[in-house]
């Protein structure tokens, strides 16, 4: 459970919902919304209603596939979609932790710090994997980490407060093996420590590549970095 | 511009007097007096500017549009039913989305205006008046703002008596919590904690009624956009930020989400029109 669900499996599961048990009616006018569970109706509104779905699902995505694929949930997203923003039961939380641990791929030769100056720009940049306006294919601008949306790092730029402040990160924690691994894990797949966290899985999702993670980590740990001033 | 500024006071008085005595800035101030909130007080300048909110002018243009016979059928929108009977606008907006017998659907303000333009006034579905949904100069934003202003200070109270209204609201609740896309985000990612900010933007917490009513008070003039924006525009912006697919204008998915967020704001006074950063 909670291994990275293949796209095909997600599509198959969805098809089952509507072909086997759900209201598999082709004509939208004949679909009775009140006969569905809220969850079934939500899925129907996204993927089927309004003659093809409530969203622009045909748009091609940077990671391949279309917006339809991107709207499909994997197991973690499904388990962590809890009304009221609560947490799943303990068994599910443990399964999420275990799957997250399994997802993490470490660089050959161990965790390295890259270029903190590039990492600084990546931590600031909110560019990448956008749909719709300001759509990008990443040929002109590289994918950023959007880190500043939620975190404060160096005080020369205003960060968000949704996540904890990371000012002086390396200076206060050192750069030993354990803390480097922890930071790497948190960027790669934070659900290993905080199941159903709001933080994206930047490594596991393919949002950031190995070099980008190394550079952002350098921004956090390098003594020369403004984060550690 | 200068001419309009001179007119500001009488306009505010006239519009305020038609429906209710409170001005939007007074509704907001009462919320601030009740609850210290960084989200509500985030921009003193915006609060100061609210008596001259450009959305008031957009709403005035909407008043003309609403009452003028238009379209191939040459009828005004006074023949339209926004839920409280043809031509009745006072308090209509805070009771949307709702089920409409004539279409058999739950509709929000935007989709109801489309319905009136096409079915009552006779505009073709692809007429720019119908298809242009954004910008202060659009018929949509002008008419939406005018209609919404007739609900200023009134409590959100979208009906949930009809089974379809309940079904849409409940599906909207699921959508609000639904995580997907490259960032695993759902609406709680930004609206599940109190007193947080994304970069420099204060975030409204859905569980704090006084904050949430301002969050859902659209149309609002967005200072950064220099335009009046709608609920539909906000929803679409949220999905863009979450890096999920673009929501189609007026889709049932969007109406479900708006039904839920309105229900969350139930009992809190609407600030219409609002002004946001």
Distance of CA B132 to the CA centre of its chain: 16
Interface check for B258 against chain A (CB to CB < 8 A): the answer is no
Q: Hey, are the CB atoms on A160 and B175 less than 8 Å from each other?
A: no
CB-hemisphere CA count at 13 Å for A161? 10
Average pLDDT, chain B: 93
Asked if residue B17 belongs to a domain, the reply is: no
Render the burial of A193-209: b for 16+ CB within 10 Å, e for the rest.
Answer: eebbbbbbbbbbbebbe
Asked if residue B13 belongs to a domain, the reply is: no
Instruction: Name the closest residue on chain B to residue A152, using Cα atoms.
Output: B199
User: How far away is chain B from the Cα of A137, in angstroms, using its nearest Cα?
Assistant: 14
Asked if residue B31 belongs to a domain, the reply is: yes
Asked if residue B109 belongs to a domain, the reply is: yes
Residues of B with Cβ-Cβ distance to A50 under 8 angstroms: 248, 251-253
Q: How many domains does chain B have?
A: 1
Q: Locate all alpha helices (DSSP H) within A2-156, ordered by sequence.
A: 7-16, 38-47, 49-52, 67-71, 75-79, 90-103, 116-124
Q: Which of A34, A45, A130 lies at the smallest CB-CB distance from B253?
A: A45
Residues of A with Cβ-Cβ distance to B163 under 8 angstroms: 34
User: How far away is chain B from the Cα of A188, in angstroms, using its nearest Cα?
Assistant: 12
User: How far away is chain A from the Cα of B174, in angstroms, using its nearest Cα?
Assistant: 6
CA distances from B29 to A62, B48, B56, B202 (A): 45, 11, 18, 17
Strand pairing of B201-202 and B98-100?
unpaired
CATH assignment at residue B120: 1.10.760.10
B187 is catalytic: no
Q: Which of A55, A157, A205 to mutate to test the interface with B (most CBs of B within 10 A)?
A: A55
Q: What is the pLDDT along chain A (229 residues), one digit of tens a residue?
A: 454 444 334 334 444 444 444 444 444 557 999 999 999 999 999 999 999 999 999 999 988 999 999 999 999 999 999 999 999 999 999 999 999 999 999 999 999 999 999 999 999 999 999 988 777 777 778 999 999 999 999 999 999 999 999 999 999 999 999 999 999 999 999 999 999 999 999 999 999 999 999 999 999 999 999 999 9
> What are the sequence ranges of the domains in chain A?
38-72, 90-221
Tell me which residues of chain B, numbers 221 to 240, contact chain A at a CB-CB cutoff of 8 Å: 236, 239-240
This prediction has a pTM of: 0.91
Quick one: A90-221 is in which CATH superfamily? Cytochrome c-like domain (1.10.760.10)
Determine contact, residues B138/B146, Cβ cutoff 8 Å.
no
Residue B27: is the preceding peptide bond cis (ω within 30°)? no
Range of the domain at B210: 24-275
CA pair distance B61, A1, nearest whole angstrom: 57
Asked if residue B33 belongs to a domain, the reply is: yes
Angle (nearest 5°) at CA B99 between B95 and B105: 135
Asked if residue B11 belongs to a domain, the reply is: no
């Amino acid at each position: 459970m909670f291994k990275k669900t293949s796209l095909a499996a997600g599509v198959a599961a969805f098809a089952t919902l509507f072909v086997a048990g759900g209201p598999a009616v082709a004509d939208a006018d004949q679909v009775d919304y009140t006969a569905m569970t809220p969850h079934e109706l939500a899925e129907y509104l996204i993927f089927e209603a309004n003659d093809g779905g409530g969203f622009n699902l045909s748009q091609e995505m940077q990671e391949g596939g279309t917006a339809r694929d991107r709207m499909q949930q994997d197991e973690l997203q499904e388990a962590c979609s809890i009304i009221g923003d609560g947490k799943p039961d303990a068994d599910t939380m443990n399964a999420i932790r275990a799957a997250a641990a399994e997802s993490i791929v470490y660089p050959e030769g161990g965790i390295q710090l890259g270029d903190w100056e590039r990492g600084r720009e990546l931590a600031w940049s909110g560019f990448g994997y956008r749909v719709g306006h300001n759509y990008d294919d990443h040929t002109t601008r590289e994918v950023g980490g959007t880190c500043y949306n939620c975190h404060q790092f160096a005080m020369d730029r205003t960060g968000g407060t949704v996540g904890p402040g990371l000012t002086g990160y390396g200076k206060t924690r050192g750069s030993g093996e354990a803390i480097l691994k922890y930071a790497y894990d948190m960027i790669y797949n934070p659900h290993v420590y905080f199941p159903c966290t709001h933080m994206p899985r930047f490594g596991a999702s393919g949002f950031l590549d190995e070099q980008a993670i190394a550079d952002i980590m350098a921004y956090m740990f390098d003594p020369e970095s403004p984060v550690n001033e | 511009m200068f001419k309009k500024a001179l007119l500001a006071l009488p306009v505010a008085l006239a519009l305020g007097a038609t429906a209710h005595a409170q001005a939007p800035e007074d509704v907001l101030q009462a919320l601030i007096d009740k609850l210290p909130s960084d989200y509500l007080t985030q921009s003193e300048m915006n609060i100061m500017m609210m008596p001259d909110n450009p959305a008031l002018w957009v709403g005035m243009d909407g008043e003309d549009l609403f009452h003028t016979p238009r379209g191939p059928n040459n009828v005004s929108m006074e023949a339209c039913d926004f839920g409280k009977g043809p031509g009745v606008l006072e308090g209509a907006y805070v009771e949307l989305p709702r089920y409409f017998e004539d279409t058999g659907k739950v509709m929000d303000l935007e989709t109801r205006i489309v319905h009136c333009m096409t079915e009552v006034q006779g505009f073709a579905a692809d007429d720019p008046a119908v298809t242009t949904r954004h910008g202060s100069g659009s018929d949509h934003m002008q008419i939406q703002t005018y209609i919404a202003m007739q609900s200023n200070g009134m409590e959100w109270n979208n009906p949930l008596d009809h089974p379809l209204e309940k079904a849409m609201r409940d599906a909207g609740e699921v959508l609000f919590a639904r995580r997907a896309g490259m960032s695993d985000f759902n609406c709680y990612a930004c609206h599940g904690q109190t007193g947080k900010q994304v970069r420099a933007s204060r975030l409204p917490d859905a569980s704090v009624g006084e904050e949430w009513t301002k969050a859902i008070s659209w149309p609002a003039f967005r200072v950064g956009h220099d335009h009046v924006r709608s609920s539909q525009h906000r929803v679409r912006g949220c999905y863009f930020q979450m890096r999920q697919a673009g929501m189609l204008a007026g889709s049932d998915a969007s109406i479900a989400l708006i039904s839920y967020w309105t229900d969350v704001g139930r009992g809190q006074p609407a600030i219409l029109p609002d002004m946001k950063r």
